[in-house]
Amino acid sequence: MLKPSRPGLQMPAWLAPALLALALLGCSRTAPEERLRAAMSELQASIEQRDAKELESYLAQDFVGPDGLDREGARRMAQVLFLRHRDVGVRTGPEEVTLQAGYATVRFSAALTGGAGGVLPDSAQVYDVESGWREEEGTWRLTSVRWTPKFQPAR
C-alpha cells in the first residue's frame, strides 16, 4: 500500500488500482475505426473549407478513382469545383465501415451541396459511395473511391 503523504491520511485500497487503470486508458491508442472516422471528418472539413491541397494530403500516393483518376487529378478536380462554387458542403448518410488488418472499406450515400444547402451540380443527385482506406504509420489514407448515381434520370 502507498504511504500517506501526511500522517493520519490513508489512501483507500481501491484508489491505487483505479488510478492505474485511468493512467493506462490515457496511454492507450485510439481504436482504428475511431481514427478512420476522424480522418473522414477531416477530409470532409477540407472539402467544406475549399482546401484542395489539404484534401490531397488525405489521398494515398497510389490513389485511384473513377476512370483512372489519380491523386493529382483528384486535387485538380476539387480545385475546379471550388472555383465554380463559393460554398461547398458534403452531406453523407450513415457509414458502413469494414476493417481488416490495416485496410478498411467504407460505404455511404453522399450529396455535394453549395450555397444555402443547394445540391451540386445544378441537377440534384445523391451518390452511393464506396471508399478504400489504408492505414500508413497510424494515419488513414484514402486509396480508392467510386461513386454511382443513386437515381437514374427518366428517359
Question: pLDDT tens, 13-69?
Answer: 555 555 554 444 444 446 999 999 999 999 988 888 889 999 999 999 999 999 999
Q: Would 103 be classed as within a structural domain?
A: yes
Please give the backbone phi and psi of residue 36, each rounded to the nearest 5 degrees, phi first.
-65, -45
Kindly list the distances between the CA atom of residue 137 and the CA atoms of 25, 32, 100, 134, 140, in Å, as whole numbers in the listed order.
21, 12, 16, 10, 8
- Domain count for the chain: 1
Range of the domain at 84: 30-149
Q: Would 7 be classed as within a structural domain?
A: no
C-alpha 39/C-alpha 140 separation (Å) is 6
Cα-based angle 147, 132, 58 (whole degrees, multiple of 5): 95
Q: Would 109 be classed as within a structural domain?
A: yes
Range with the poorest average pLDDT among 48-52, 74-78, 149-153? 149-153
- The percentage of the chain sitting over the pLDDT mark of 70, rounded to a whole number, equals 71
Q: Would 138 be classed as within a structural domain?
A: yes
- Residue 143 in this model has a pLDDT that exceeds 90: yes
Q: Would 69 be classed as within a structural domain?
A: yes
Predicted confidence at residue 18, as pLDDT, reads: 52
Q: Are 110 and 94 in contact (CB under 8 A)?
A: no
Q: Would 3 be classed as within a structural domain?
A: no
Predicted confidence at residue 19, as pLDDT, reads: 55
C-alpha 148/C-alpha 109 separation (Å) is 9
**Residue 66's domain is classified under what CATH number?**
3.10.450.50
Burial 39-68 (b: 16+ CB within 10 A, else e): bbeebbebbeebebebbbebbbeebbbeee
Q: Would 154 be classed as within a structural domain?
A: no
Kindly list the distances between the CA atom of residue 140 and the CA atoms of 54, 64, 92, 135, in Å, as whole numbers in the listed order.
14, 15, 19, 4
- Residue 87 in this model has a pLDDT that exceeds 90: no
List CB contacts of 46: < 8 A, sequence separation 6 or more: 54, 55, 57, 58
Q: What is the mean pLDDT of the chain?
A: 79
Q: Would 108 be classed as within a structural domain?
A: yes
